[in-house]
Amino acid sequence: MSNYYIRAINYLDRAKKVFNPDNKDTWFYSAFEIRCGVEARMREYLQHQKSVSAKKKKGWRPAVLAKDIDQVFKIGEKEAHFSFHSETTDPFTLVYRPVPKELQEIVEKLGNYLHAAHEDFFAREDYWQTFQELVERGIELLDYSVDSQLLGVPLRNVTTNQLEIFATVTSEVREQLDEHLKGGLVNIEVSYREIS
């Protein structure tokens, strides 16, 4: 049995692999993979949050998922950088990157291409030019969103005043984080950056 992987990075990899600018057939498959990749990434951001209902964690509409993410993290379209400093380890930085509003809008537009087409659309050159631009930009922006180590912004527990839920994209990143956190006193420097 062949494995079909469903993490955001897997959808991105397939979108890149199948896309061929000289073959319009491939654009439809890439558009599908981009759409699923955005949905998967946004759900990955919500899955580790205790305050998010199971129903919201299973959402599929990017606009609704974006609203849920904003309600949880409350940082909008900003990257969050968490730099760990201790006396016993080298500095270590983890980054959270959002799914940009532009990418959410691209996914909505790509949805229009994933229906049975009307002949009058195919005859228009701008139809194909726009489609190609949307797919290329969609791949670029999904690559940006997936290129981070954190699956959300760690939140402060109001009772203990401790940061919680450093959800990481891989167990290897988690192991690196745990190694830095066990080395005595650790200072965490947090910065937020507008995405460009």
Closest Cα to residue 39, out of 17, 18, 61?
A: 61
The pTM (predicted TM-score) of the whole model is 0.88
Task: Provide the 3-class DSSP secondary structure of residue 40.
Answer: helix
- Tokens standing for residue 100: 């940009």
Task: Provide the 3-class DSSP secondary structure of residue 156.
Answer: strand
Mean pLDDT of 107-115: 90
72-95 confidence digits (pLDDT tens): 888 889 999 988 888 777 788 999
Q: Are 167 and 151 in contact (CB under 8 A)?
A: yes
Task: Provide the 3-class DSSP secondary structure of residue 27.
Answer: helix
* pLDDT band at residue 183 using 50, 70 and 90 as cut-offs: low
14-35 confidence digits (pLDDT tens): 999 999 999 999 999 999 999 9
Q: Which residue has the higher pLDDT, 180 or 149?
A: 149
φ, ψ at 175 (rounded to 5°): -65, -40
CA distance between the termini of the chain? 42
Residue 179 makes CB contacts below 8 A (sequence gap 6+) with 89
DSSP at 118 = P
161-180 confidence digits (pLDDT tens): 776 667 888 888 888 888 77
Mean pLDDT of 122-127: 78
Percent of the chain with pLDDT over 70: 94
